Amino acid sequence: MTTYKGINGFAVQSLASDPSPLDEGQVWYNNTSYAFKLAAVTTAGAWASGGNVNTARTTLTGAGSQTANLIFAGQLTNPPYGDQSATESYNGSSWTTLPASYPTAVGNLSGLGTQTAALGFGGYPNVTATNEYDGSTWTSGGALGTGRELCSANIGTQTAGLAAGGYIRGSEVSTTAVEQYNGTSWTTAPSLNTGLYGRCGSGTQTAGLAAGGQSTTTSTATESYNGTSWTTVTARPYAAGSAMGSGTQTAALNYGGNPAGAVTTTVSYNGTSWASQPSMSVAKSMGGGCGAGTSGAALASNGSGPGATEEFTGAGAPVTKTITTS
C-alpha cells in the first residue's frame, strides 16, 4: 500500500505548533490542537481585518511591512481635527503607541523605510523638515530643498529615498520636482513628467514607481524611474489621489484613494500592466501603507476609514489548512 512515508521518504511529523516557514504540500500533525494540517497556497488575493489603531486619524503616513509597520503624525478624524504627533507600531495583530512621538504635529507628510529605520518628510504647509527614526528615537535629518506636502511615499529607504511631486502652498501648484535623500541631505533629482500630488509610490531610489495623484483633477498617470529619468508607463485603471501602496517597481499594489470620496479599489502592477484585485472592506484614503511590504502582503491603516486596519494576502501566499474528513 502506498504511504506518505513511501512517497516523501519520511513520516508525518507530530509538532506542538505549526511550522514556519511553510513548504507547499507539507503535512504535519499538530498535537496541541489534535489536527492534521496541510501547507497550501492561496488561489486568490483577499483582505482581512487587522487590529485597530489607537489614535484614529487621517493625512498620516507610514513605513515598514505588514507585520512590522509604523505610522506617525496626521490629523484627528473627529473634532477638533488637530494635527497629531503620535507614533504607533504594528506587530501583525495589534498597534502600540510608542513613547517616541514624531517631532512635530503635522499632517499631509510622507514616509518611507522600515519600522526601525523610517523617514518622515514634508507636510502642511510647505514643511521642509525631515526626521529619521531608528526604532526608538526620532532625530532631525537634512531639510527638503522645496517645502511641500503630499509627496509620493514609500519609494526607497531611509538612506536612499525619493520625494516625488507634491503640492506647494502659496504658489498653489502641483510640482514635478523630485529630490533624493542619501541619509544626510536631499539633492535635486530628475523631474517627473506630470506635476501631481498624492501620488502612490513603491520601489527603490533607482527603480521607483509613482502612480495616480491629482492636480486640478484626479489622474491615472503612472511613471517609472530608473535612477536617471522618469518614463510614462501604463496608466493605473482608476484615477485617485492619496492612495496607499506597497511593493516594488515591477510588483506593486495600489489601494484606496480619493477620486471624489474614499474608495475600496485595489489593483496590482507587474511592471507592464495593471490587474484588479479584491477590494478593501472599508473605503480609505490618506492612510498608512507599507512601503517595505510586497504586492502579496500589504497593510492599509486608518486614514479616512477611522481606526480600521486591513491586511492583504495575495495569490500564491502560503497558508495553513486543517485536513478534515468531510
From residue 82, how far is each of 85, 105, 308 by CA, in Å? 10, 8, 19
Could you read off the pLDDT of 83-136 as tens digits, one per residue? 999 999 999 999 999 999 999 999 999 999 999 999 999 999 999 999 999 999
Give the right CATH number for 46-313 from 3.40.1160.10, 1.20.140.10, 2.120.10.80, 3.30.365.10.
2.120.10.80
198 compared with 289, residue with greater pLDDT: 198
Please compute the mean of the pLDDT values over residues 25-35 and round it to a whole number. 88
- Is the model's pLDDT at 43 over the cut of 70? no
Contact 54, 95 (CB under 8 A): yes
| Predicted confidence band of residue 8 (pLDDT cuts 50, 70, 90) | low
Give the max Cα distance, the chain: 80
- Residue 190 to residues 45, 102, 148, 207, 282: CA-CA distances in angstroms? 35, 29, 17, 13, 36
On the question of pLDDT at 318 being above 80, the answer is no
As a whole number, mean pLDDT of residues 47-66 equals 92
- The neighbour count for residue 130, using CB atoms within 10 Å, is 22
Cα distance between residue 15 and residue 250, in whole Å: 38
Residue of 247, 242, 258 lying closest to 224 (CA atoms) = 247
Confidence of residue 200 (pLDDT cuts 50, 70, 90): very high
> Which of 36-40, 108-112, 270-274 comes out lowest in average pLDDT?
36-40
Q: Is the confidence at residue 54, as pLDDT, over 70?
A: yes
CATH 2.120.10.80 domain residues, the chain: 46-313
Whether 149 has a pLDDT exceeding 90, the answer reads: yes
172-180 long-range contacts (CB < 8 A, ≥24 apart) are 174/213, 174/214, 174/215, 175/146, 175/148, 177/146, 177/148, 178/230, 179/144, 179/145, 179/146, 180/156, 180/205
Q: What is the pLDDT averaged over residues 282-286?
A: 91
Residue 112 carries which side chain, given as an amino acid letter? Answer: L
Neighbouring C-beta atoms of residue 32, cutoff 10 Å: 10
Indicate the average pLDDT of the chain: 91
Contact 149, 162 (CB under 8 A): no
Model confidence at 9, in pLDDT bands (50, 70, 90)?
low
Mean pLDDT of 155-164: 97
Q: What is the pLDDT of residue 151?
A: 96
Is pLDDT of 18 > 60? yes
Rounded percentage of the chain residues whose pLDDT exceeds 90:
71
**Overall pTM surpassing 0.75 (yes/no):** yes
Q: What is the pLDDT of residue 5?
A: 57
Q: How far apart are CA 282 and CA 259, in angstroms?
A: 15
